[in-house]
Amino acid sequence: AQKVTQAQTEISVVEKEDVTLDCVYETRDTTYYLFWYKQPPSGELVFLIRRNSFDEQNEISGRYSWNFQKSTSSFNFTITASQVVDSAVYFCALSSNSNSGYALNFGKGTSLLVTP
């Protein structure tokens, strides 16, 4: 079964705090891709990162960083020094051959609210 779980439904932090959004996935495939998307109130999903199953290096992009651990089937996303503009719903997604190839299988999302 292919499944993405984002256990945190809502997170509220004060500006400048660090926050980590959790993503746990299930797949029987050895080759798969993981994605993070941001959905601001406007509704458009904004692509943040893609990671393949063979690359476990952590990645940093500005205030964003991602921690991929195959041993725990997790692909967590950390925002350092959060800002009000980071307020959005964040989705983790999985694509793999068993997941019928081309479809993205999304988690239910984590709503992040950053207050001044």
For residue 103, state whether it binds another protein (rule: CB under 8 A). yes
> How many angstroms separate the Cα of 46 from the Cα of each of 17, 52, 56, 100?
22, 19, 23, 23
Query: Which residues face 46 on adjacent strands?
Result: 38
d(CA 109, CA 16): 22
Question: CB–CB of 68/50 below 8 Å?
Answer: no
For residue 101, state whether it binds another protein (rule: CB under 8 A). yes
For residue 77, state whether it binds another protein (rule: CB under 8 A). no
Q: How far is the CB of 96 from another protein (least distance, A)?
A: 6
For residue 76, state whether it binds another protein (rule: CB under 8 A). no
Name the site residues for another protein (rule: CB under 8 A): 4, 31-33, 35, 37, 42-47, 50, 52, 91, 93, 95-97, 99-109
